Structure 1
Amino acid sequence: MFTLSEIGLYLCFSILVGGLLLQIVPANHRPTLVLSKKYLLWAVAGIGVLSFMPVLRVILFFISDPNFNPWLLTTSVLFSFEIGQAWWVSLALSVVLFIMILRTNQAGRSSQEIVVVKLVVAFGLVLALGWSSHAASYFEWRGFFAHTAHFLAMVVWLGILLVTGWFSKGMENWSTFLAWFHPLAITCVLITTSAGIILTLDISPEYLNGWILSYGQALLIKHLLLIPLLLFGFINGFLLKKRLKELPNFNPLGWFRAESVFVLAIFGVTAFMGQQETPHNVAATLKMAEPSPLFTYLYQGVLDRNPSLSLAVNGNSAILFAAALMFAAMVVLAFWKKMPPYISVVMGILFTVTGYLALMLSIR
């Protein structure tokens, strides 16, 4: 339940931020959008409701103890815990933004100044999410800034991608759209990567040992999924512009939607990570939590409670690494050979699976 709610929360933020940003872009610099205000209203309502789920999780965690009074516990979490206070801010900002969007016309159009104000309120929602994050609770301002930068860059990049891929029509203005979106996407990738490295070093300093735990397994899979996503970014950023010059009537929507498959997969894995024990100290965490079932199934050695894992390529893992590289190349080659987008999606999934197995079979 909580994993699904986080996936929904990420989607709501992406649709909201992506939709609002595209509203301030001149019509001749983006494809024609069919994103009516009802989708933005649902996104804002979703943020207000779904951002409460982490608060509910904390309440349910403590309420199982009979020594706690349920009413006092609930009010304490809501008004004394930072996660509860952050939710009140999110709820208030969601109500304000909901009313602002509701007052726009049916097509969702409003003045540029009003859209900018909506974006400022949406940015406040991102700040509230960063305030309630694991990183902020463990590492205070450093964690807050890293998580906020990571999440904001992600929803700007992926939000525009999702909204354009699923709420646009026609083949006009794609070249002018890519001319500004591609540099923006590269900037967001650099920010996301830099902030992600900081978060990884803070939350999972024993990166390799962290693979023993479910959080570390999910983090590894997320990092592997980023590679096909970046390959699709290369296709949609560089190769697509050349294809549009050669074939002005070429419809790129299928490739944007194919890239969104990996966006959703990363959202799902990130949401799963949010429900797992963070591996600040793997040996200490193993005293309270079981190793990942995936890890214990694939690991060929004897697991020590004070682990010190390393990687050593062997015959089987070398074959899998070679296969992973081939599948990664096929993601781009499929576009080059004018194959359907789903072929690249399948190649990206196969890369993720073979890359994961290659790494797991290299552990010693």
Structure 2
Amino acid sequence: MKCVPLNRLFLLALSGAFLLSSTPVFAETIELTFSSPFPVQQVITGKVIKPWIEEIEKASGGEVKIKLFPAGALGKAPEQFDLAEKGIADMSYHLADYTPGRFPLTSVFSLPFMPPTGQKVSEAMWKTFEKEPKYQEEYSKVKVLALFGHAGGHFHTVKTPIRSMADFKGMKMRTANPAISKALTLWGAVPVAQPITETYQSLQLGVLDGSALPYEGIVVFKLNEVTKFTTLADLYTMPMMIVMNKKTWDSLPKNVQELIDNTTGLKMSAAAGKAFDDAEKPFREISMKKGIEEIALDPSELAKMQDITMPLRDEWAMEMEEKGLPGKEVLKTALSYTNE
């Protein structure tokens, strides 16, 4: 057996150690799923979620990969929150009004005439969430990434234009939520709760006389093909959310959690609201090209409509208090932020 000098053994061991230490260690790719009930043509899915996914993947240097499942590929619209809570999807985009009663305090933002703009009401939603512990409890089973709403919804009708509150009498109007149903009743209309996916046919067949939606909604669901009049009102918004499965969140490395935190929260909420605001002008133009007549209510008439609905706010607060929830406090907080 040939003897190897001790000094050569030392050099060989040293070079081996150097080779081992210089071998790159590749972090395992983190693969996440994101579910949306809507196609990528929809404002939030296409203008907020998709770009955010691209931003996270790029900023993480490829450490994070997120696969988007749009158009309800993983579940129907009312199931989206459950998808994230149960871990069927790591993240999801959900509309609170699609699961009535599940987010009672969140429904403060469904009250009539709450949204000055989509961005403003979205910022108010996030700030209210941050300030009110009981509000936070509605989302205790998930990690909340964003809370937001669309620009104010208007009235779109088929045959009869709405030029004053008196024109609502007897009109069958698709309603957005229970609070808007109460407002429509106060004005003399007949509210009809119905999925937006069924509204086109109902308007076409005369089952409905009209619907309350932002311009984005009537274009996405093609209601501008059957409606002829739009009365501006900025009546309501629909509270929405982007949430993540808690176990998924807890399993992420700290650097990835920081990256997500830095790109969501108030920043994403405001961006989502602004995306809805920005969409109103082009969608309005599309509707105008269809020949729809746009009607601006006389300020005194609009003020009359608003005044009649104001008691609904106190009524909502009392309903929450009867459930043991701080309705008065949450209403006060929500109004303070929407009016900033």
Question: What TM-score does the superposition give when structure 1 sets the normalisation length?
Answer: 0.25
Higher-Rg member (1/2)? 2
Structure holding more helix per residue:
1
- TM-score w.r.t. the length of structure 2 is 0.27
- Write 1 or 2 for the structure with the bigger share of strand: 2
